[in-house]
Structure 1
Amino acid sequence: MKIKIGAGILAFFALVAIFGPLFIGADPAATSDAGLQPPSAEHWLGTTQTGQDVLVQLVYGARVSLGVGVLSAVIATVLAVAVGLVGGYIGGAVDEVLSVLTNIFLVLPALPLIIVLAGYLPQRGVTSVAVVIAVTGWAWGARVLRAQTLSVRRRDFVQAARASGEGPLRIVFFEILPVLLPVIATSFLATVVSAILAEAGLSFLGLADLSTVSWGSMLYFAQNGQALLIGAWWWFIPPGLCIALIGTGLALVNFGIDEIANPRLRTIKVPRKARAS
C-alpha cells in the first residue's frame, strides 16, 4: 500500500515534469501588469510581484528540481556502489584507502561543503549543481554498502563462485550486487530527496542559476519579494508543498522497499475472526 501511494505521487510529478511544459507552452519568465494577483480563473495559482504565472513556474520548476534530484542520485549511487562494493569485497589496503576517503566525506558537513563548491562553479547550470550535490552525497551509501558487502562475501554462493575461478569484479557485480539491490534502491531514493532539498537550498541562497526556474528559485524570489510579509501565500506555498509531497512519495516507496526486503518490518493483518475472539 505504501509503495502504491508513493509511486502514485512520484508518477504524477514525473508526468508533470515531462509533459506539463508541452501542454502549458507559456514562458515561465514572462512578466505582465497583473502583479501579486491571488488565484483566479485566469491565473490558477496567482502571480508573482512581476506578474509571472506561479502555475507555469511550478510546472517548469518540476522538471529542473526533479532532474537535479535524479541526476545527482544516479551519480552518487554509482560512486557509492563502486567504492562500497569494491572496498568491502577486496579488503586490505584498498579497503583502508576507500574507507578513509569515505570517512572524510562523512565528517565534512554536507550543506556548507555544497555551498563552498557551488560558489566556485564557473557555470551554475543543472548539470553542475547535480555533480556538486552528488560529490558530497555518496559517502553514506558507500558506508552502508561496504558493511553489507562484508557480510555477503562470506556466504556460500560467493565462496562457490570464487572456487569456480570467477574474477573479483565478476563476483562483485554479478554475484554480490544483485543481492544488495534493495539496499541500493533505498540509498538511491534517499539521495534523490537530499538532492532536491540541497538544490532548493542552493537556489534559496542564490548560489544556483537563478535564470533557470526551479522550486528553489521560486522560494528565493518569494523571499526577496517579502511574500510572507505581504500575505502572498500563493507565491511560496505551492513550491514548498511540492517539495514536501515529493519527499513523502519517496519516503513511502522507501518504506515499502524496506518491508519487502525485511519481512520483520511488515505489518501483520490480524483476521477479523481472531480479533473478535
Structure 2
Amino acid sequence: PFMADWLAYPALGAATLLPAFVPVHPYVHMIVLASTIVYVGCHRALAQSALAPGVTTAETVTQKEAMRFPLYGSAVLVGLYAVVKLVKKEYLNALIACYFFVLGAGAVQQAVRAPLQALPAVRRLKTHVWRVNWQFWDKDAPAEKVEFNALDVPLLVIGLALSFAYTRTKWWVLANCLAVCFSVCAVEMLTLGSFQIGCMLLSFLFAYDIFWVFGTEVMVTVAKGIDAPIKLLFPKHLRADKPEFSLLGLGDIVIPGIFVAMMLRFDARRGLRALPYFKSGMVAYVL
C-alpha cells in the first residue's frame, strides 16, 4: 500500500497542476482529480489504521454522529446562506481569507508531510516535543503534546506562502491545491465505525444533496458566494478572459472517500491482496 500511495502523489500533482497549462475537458479533469484524491486519501487512512490507538489522530464516525450529520450540515448551510445574503461581500471575504490562511497552511503541511516522512533521511531527523495547555484559563488542564521535526518548519512556510498567494490572487489553481490538501487530510482522518454507519451516512446525505442542490438555490448560492477553497474548480475554457468553471464540492469527495477507505481497510484486515472491495469501491465512485 505504501508504494501505491507514494506513486499516486505525482499523478495527484499532475491532475491538479497540468490543466492550468493544457486544456482538459472539465468532466475528464473532474473524474481524474477526484478519483486520485480518493485513492491517495484511502491509502493514507490505511496507514493511520495501522498506528496504535494512542498514536493515530483519526476520528471515528459513530451512528449518532452519522444521524446528526445531515441536520448539522443543513443548519450550517442555512447559516452560511444567510451570511452570504446579509453580509457585505468584502467583509465576508476578508474574514474567510483570514480563516483559510491559517487552516490552509496546516492542511498543506499535513498533506505533504506524510509521503516525505517515509524517506530514510527524514526518519532520522530528531523529533522535538512541545507541551502546551490550550486551556490556558485552567492551570490544572492536561497539556497537549505537539511533536515536530526540522521538516515541519519549511513545510509550514510553504503552506503559509501558498495560502498567502491564494488570498492575494484568488487563482483557481491555488484554490484547487488547498482544496486537494483539505480533501486528502479529511479522508485520512475520518473513519467509519461500521459498514452500516457508512450506508446510513451516504443515504442521508443523498437525500440532503437532492433537497439542497436541486430543490433550492441554497447550496449553489453558498458555493458561488463564498470565495474559499471549499470546492474544486474545473475551467470550461482555459484561454477565456473570464473563464467559467464547473464545481465539485469537497463533500462529494470526502464522504464517499471515507467509505472507500473502509473497504481498503477491510481488504487489508482480511489479507486480500487483490483488494477486491477497494477496487469495486473505486470503480463505483468513478462511475
Shorter-chain TM-score bucket reads under 0.3
Bigger proportion of residues as strand: 2
Question: Greater Rg, structure 1 or structure 2?
Answer: 1
Bigger proportion of residues as helix: 1
